A and B are shown apart, each in its own frame.
Chain A
Amino acid sequence: MTERTVWTILILAMIAMAFSRTMFDPSQSAGREYVKQVDGEWVKADLIDRNAGIAEVSYDRTAGLWIAAVFTLCIFSFMYRDNPFYKVAESTVVGVSAAYYMVVGFWSTLVPNLFAKLMPGVIQQWAMPGLSPEIEPTGIYYIVPLILGIMLLMRLVPSMSWISLWPLAFIIGTTAGLRMIAYLEADFLSQIENSFVPLIVFTETGIDYWQSFQNTFMIVSILSCLVYFFFSIEHKGAVAGVSKFGIWILMMTFGAMFGMTVMGRIALLAIRLEFLFREWMNIRPY
């Protein structure tokens, strides 16, 4: 009961603050989006444009700004715990994005890559005016993906759902095949080649000890990590020692990566906060 009261007050206070900020922002830019017209297109206007008097408030963009801000706050509320605000934001994001991807999938994949190849005439009239209505000589091959696609949809018919296994198998099989070559080439051979370094680096003045150590250390690390991922031998005796060294190398790598990624995440957070403070509420420390 008390908790609820506290939260109600807090939320009301936040709403009040947001509105008051919007109302009484001296620069009149908090909680609003300004636009100007350039070559018949509406684009975002900045302070200079406003001072020049060519900008005006865009109500739909302002609504967008508020939605973005409110959803950002809703998602942040998850830090406290799961709550209806989060659920609303979550469901919206999921629903909108799922629908969005469906539409994108239809317009950017199905239409240009399948229908446009198979029946360019129809598509030209209907969706893609720039398209040549002549069917390409290879266009007819696109009947194969169409058939596979239809087979995949057979899943919806319970009695014929087994048909969908075939295209699925085709996808998995071709992917595996294609990937294997790419993998062998990019990860396998080129990676091996890249680790061809002289273990002892001779220079004109003698041996470059530091570089030699670096190279040797790198090669030893690579080989010991390789031993860790060698599955045929139980980690016992000497193998255990080598793989342990490999583990340490992995751990060091992980540590470095952890740090790097955390930095990246903090940057993401900063961007979000920047959006809230600057773009939405126009709060600037300077």
Chain B
Amino acid sequence: MPVISPDEINVILATDCGSTTTKAIMIEKIDGHYRQTYRGEAPTTVEEPAANVTIGVANAIAEIGELAGRKLLDENNEIIRPARGNEGCDIYISTSSAGGGLQMLVSGVVREMTAASAKRAALGAGAIVLDIIASNDKRKPYEQIQRIRELRPDMILMAGGTDGGTEKHVVQLAELIAPAKPQPRFGSEYRMPVIFAGNKEAWPMVRDTFDDSVELSQVENVRPILDRENLGPARDMIHDLFLEHVMAHAPGYDKLIAWTDAPIMPTPGAVGNILKTIAEKSGINAVGVDIGGATTDVFSVFDGEFNRTVSANLGMSYSISNVCAEATMPNILRWVHVDMDERELRNRVKNKMIRPTTIPQSLEALIFEQAVSREALRLAYLQHKEFATTLKGVQQQRTVGDLFTQDSGGNSIVDNMKLDLLVASGGVLSHAPRMEQTAAMLIDAFEPEGFTRLAKDSIFMMPHLGVLAQVHPQAALEVFERDCLIYLGTCIATAGKPVPNKVAFEYRITGDITAQGEILAGELKRIPLAADQEARVSITPHRKLDAGNGKGQSVEKTVHGGTVGIILDGRGRPLLVGGETGYSRQDVSQWVEALNLYENESLVSSK
């Protein structure tokens, strides 16, 4: 790969090979700033008949080339580098989630401890974790072996034991995995990569347990002592092996690897990378979500702690039926303010599942789909909160005074009150006809508290920027701030259960706009504030509610606008909708009206 100094980079080409489409973007240096300029798309060509990923990549790049009037590919369909005049680009980078991305099996001793660390390492590296084998997963050894056999992961990560800790359990796990002889997904052309990131003293025994049929490697322990996690080495090793083994055996990837100027990253890993970089640079807590057809990824950075979860079967097309099964129909329909026939809907859901590419045509279908997405996001976030916890198994240092607040480890580090930025991406969120709908879905599903800025990834270029951040962080940051995010506005909400018919909070806005007033319990109000505007908002909540400074304490902050503006949310947290105690359908209709979510008056009033 040619080494170019970052200053000389003017034209950057980035692709993301998804499982169905390959998306390419071009970033150019204009007036000293990096801007994203053109984008192209083409179907991914990993599977038959093309069976060569570079064809799709070339098609997408060709589209950019046409749009930009720039010659990017030569006669052999190879990328022209470096950029010269109106030809070529300086660097080319790519991510990949084609063929289902990187699928891993992880193992650890205690499910909540080393196995959780191993899972975090794998998820952080951008993998989908197929299963976790742990000593206490309540399965019998033969069931575990059966499971290992059934799965066809791309890679296995073994953890377990602190350094100097248990050897017995670690070797026992190895004794389960070795005889099961796991088969890699992409045929038998290569040996299954197995990474050992457990008790280093157990390594010789683990090594003896495996024979030559696997590619065994060792990295530093993910949990050298129980009180500390060390995920970096394992993540790096996963990336290396992903390239070396998994990618290299997918059709056409050898060529793609040769093209790129930076190692290919799994798409979710790249998204996490950019989010982490942004949160670090701006000193904020951020949550990102990518809701796809089959899975929903949630990324969070709280106090510098990065976490990612993949909710494998929560998605809007392939998995839509599963969302309905998990959330149950009544929970979905509580977000719907018009009458719908449940039996009919069930069949529609299944039809969407078997024909996942269809899009809602009628308003009614859109309303339903957005209701489903609220539940999918809510469930995914719930899973994320359960997973993103402080470490478990840490000895507590206590004084006598602590006796009566005996907390244990493993509390969620996700705190909606501390959340500063919520970024949405994925079809149903990005392609919603109105930004208000995106904002409403985010607020209803994630229930942000206090002051939270909402944004959406305009054309899902976070993966590209994630890889770019590795080679050229400055360019990645500039593009992220200028072109990647479309700010929707700021949600201001109070935590706690508001007293019905009482004022939830009073607000006073100064700055580019001025306004003041009261928000009643259960009320939702939108105040327009454009993306380039700023305002100072002061909130005085009811004495039972908390806006960030404690119950009844007022909070003042500067907020940024967006296409939607400021959303003042007096519905309280947790947000209870439906059922007999929650907000009624009438309330939901009022919210729809307040945010002007859907145009069709006849539908809105036909409740």
Contact = CB atoms under 8 A, between A and B. Distances in A.
Nearest to A248: B404
Range, interface on chain A: under 10
Interface string A253-268: 0110000000000000
Nearest to B401: A251
Nearest to A258: B400
A224 to B, nearest CB: 13
Contacts of A255: 400
Interface string B383-401: 0000000000000000010
A66 to B, nearest CB: 42
Contacts of A244: 404
Contacts of A247: 403-404
A133 to B, nearest CB: 61
A204 B23 CA distance: 96
Nearest to A246: B404
Contacts of B403: 247, 251
Contacts of B404: 244, 247, 251
A247 B400 CA distance: 12
Nearest to A254: B400
Interface residues of B, number: 3
By secondary structure, the A interface counts as: helix
A254 B399 CA distance: 13
By secondary structure, the B interface counts as: helix
Nearest to B404: A247
Contacts of A254: 400
Contacts of A251: 400, 403-404
Interface in B400-416: 400, 403-404
Contacts of B400: 251, 254-255
Nearest to B403: A251
B497 to A, nearest CB: 12
A136 to B, nearest CB: 54
Interface in B231-247: none
A254 B404 CA distance: 13
Interface string A222-266: 000000000000000000000010010001001100000000000
B392 to A, nearest CB: 24
A228 B400 CA distance: 17
A254 B403 CA distance: 12
A255 B400 CA distance: 10
A255 B399 CA distance: 13
Interface string A5-29: 0000000000000000000000000
A210 to B, nearest CB: 30
Interface string B247-275: 00000000000000000000000000000
Nearest to A244: B404
B398 to A, nearest CB: 13
Interface in A120-153: none
B551 to A, nearest CB: 14
Nearest to A255: B400
Interface string A188-199: 000000000000
B539 to A, nearest CB: 25
A82 B203 CA distance: 31
A103 B403 CA distance: 43
A248 to B, nearest CB: 9
B404 to A, nearest CB: 5
A247 B404 CA distance: 7
Interface in B286-335: none
B227 to A, nearest CB: 24
Interface in B345-404: 400, 403-404
Interface in A50-67: none
A247 B403 CA distance: 9
A254 B400 CA distance: 10
A244 B404 CA distance: 8
A227 to B, nearest CB: 13
B400 to A, nearest CB: 7
A255 B403 CA distance: 13
A244 B405 CA distance: 11
A251 B404 CA distance: 10
A251 B400 CA distance: 9
A264 B194 CA distance: 60
Nearest to A228: B404
B157 to A, nearest CB: 39
Interface in A18-54: none
8 contacts: A244-B404, A247-B403, A247-B404, A251-B400, A251-B403, A251-B404, A254-B400, A255-B400
Interface of A: 244, 247, 251, 254-255
Given A244-B404, A247-B403, 6 more contacts: A247-B404, A251-B400, A251-B403, A251-B404, A254-B400, A255-B400
Interface of B: 400, 403-404
User: What are the 8 closest A-B residue pairs judged by CB atoms, nearest first?
Assistant: A247-B404, A251-B400, A251-B403, A244-B404, A254-B400, A251-B404, A247-B403, A255-B400
